[in-house]
Structure 1
């Protein structure tokens, strides 16, 4: 029986360059054994989400999401609610492309990203659920996260994730702590915090040191709570992030693994929640990890083994690839080549 695949692509992603790659991407999907077709998103609200839901209901075997993290998030939201879900693949064409970075998918060449499907390597990835919304990479709240809403879209298009760095530097002196009540697996926290963050991969805003030990598909969020809003403390924490992720041991940080989080701001003021870089509603909010909820094509052999998590098939593929490379490096004398 022929398997069907649907490409859902955002024509405005990548400086509107995605359109010229569609034919080549469909050819790759066909070479992978799928009967392939494409859908171009429209400016209508949730166009990608609605098409992903329609394709899921129609029984498609694979959905390929091409665009920025926002487009990919929409496709995930279209697929995640169903009991029977297609596999997914992603073709990054956005600003930071955190999810592609974590899965080691090429970020500069859409056709090369599509060719990851030809490798046949997949990971069963966790998906976060927050009320009626789903997210695949991060959820966050607090004053530190509000800078993401303040970066104009055209600024992001020109400067990429450095736009966030520049805007963050501008806003940092005004950041302060707010009173939070957080309930997670290991207990509760009642006190001031400038931010809480839930992560499911090790790539956040283009940085891989923020959650250095992220384990893909383990059913747990990595929770970071920044208790301080002091500018000097924040600069110290940033330096520790860049110095190998040593911030996780700082007294101003709570770092824990949890399958669930309940977050409330206790002074009655609004706290906006960021889901995968976009506004996702306001606290109080409950976040639940849906373990290994969607099977994603990934460049498994390039992902550090420490980040692969409990997915036995992925680890087997990784070790097989490493062994294959090692064998190629052995010279005729049984010695590893220089």
Structure 2
């Protein structure tokens, strides 16, 4: 058992007593609370300074992302354990960590061997500054970001991820098609259009929805999805591509790849290690469920094997 263990926990999501009850007998841990102003970076820094070899991040996606970001940024050798306590729990879902079960998640972190995963980075250009953010799952603008900003927080507390469905109609109306410029892996920039652009390190959302079905958090690459649907015909084509070509049809195919994987008339799919996106109009940008601000340019990159996760 790892002796130097730290718990970075969000006190708005659980209690210290509940976490202590899940610890293996004899485990000695140090405790570091997050705050509203600092969801995990400062706590992770303190945990590493205390010599932690295993850091359990207990909280929602914001807490997990902040701790993962600091570990990747500093190239720390400490392992990360995930105790998912949020609405989406996206990284936990993609890695098969037990949800809504503190004891099972803590046991998994103490008993399993570590595996390495990649981390994506987004340099987000706002009107007055550039903010650098890491993401373990996905980042982007459009429907995904608007569903997050338009979702009622009280409803999220009562209904969990189903609250996002309530905001979908408002998100659609807020996600107008705009002009963009894309430069993939240093290639010459090309003009295009989009209402939604997502870059993923992992591909699964709530409810088992595989938005980026080929995304692999350990393959050293990022997956791009651009949605361009405009009007009824465009949305029908998008629905076919998302639900049939990259959903139901895959269940019956021996090979997960299909001839349609590059996209459709209203979707673009690419795999890359770097991407620069210029937006003709500012759009709200999000990373792993946290909004960053209205972006006019975003530079994506991948940090391969950035984290050791239990």
The structure richer in strand per residue is 2
Gaps of 5+ in 1: 298-338
For 1:265, the equivalent position in structure 2 comes to 279
Q: Which runs of 5+ in 2 are unaligned?
A: 124-131, 248-259
Deviations 1:49-75 (A, max 9, x none): 101012223331111101111111111
C-alpha separation between the residues in 2 aligned to 1:161 and 1:143? 15
With over 3 angstroms needed to count, the CA separation of the structure-2 counterparts of 1:174 and 1:117, relative to structure 1, is closer
| Equivalent residues in 2 for 1:1-338, closer than 5 Å | 3-13=3-13, 17-27=14-24, 30=27, 35-43=28-36, 45-131=37-123, 132-142=132-142, 145-185=145-185, 187=187, 188-243=189-244, 245=246, 248=261, 249-266=263-280, 269-281=281-293, 282-297=295-310
| CA shift in 2, pair 1:170/1:130, >3 Å | closer
Bigger helix share: 1
CA shift for structure 1 position 183: 1.1
TM-score normalised to the size of structure 1? 0.77
Kindly tell me the number of residue pairs found equivalent between the two proteins.
287
Is 1:5–1:29's contact at 8 Å kept on the other side of the alignment? Answer: no
Measure, in 2, the Cα distance between the counterparts of 1:115 and 1:26: 7
Given that 1:135 and 1:276 are in contact with CA atoms closer than 8 Å, whether structure 2 keeps it comes out as: yes
8 Å contact 2:75–2:306 — kept in the other structure?
no
Whether the 8 Å contact between 1:176 and 1:230 is mirrored in structure 2 is: no
d(CA) in 2 for partners of 1:49 and 1:92? Answer: 17
TM-score scaled to structure 2, two decimals? 0.84
**RMSD of the TM alignment (CA)?**
2.4
Over 6 Å off, 4+ runs: none
C-alpha change, 1:174 and 1:72, in structure 2 (3 Å) is closer
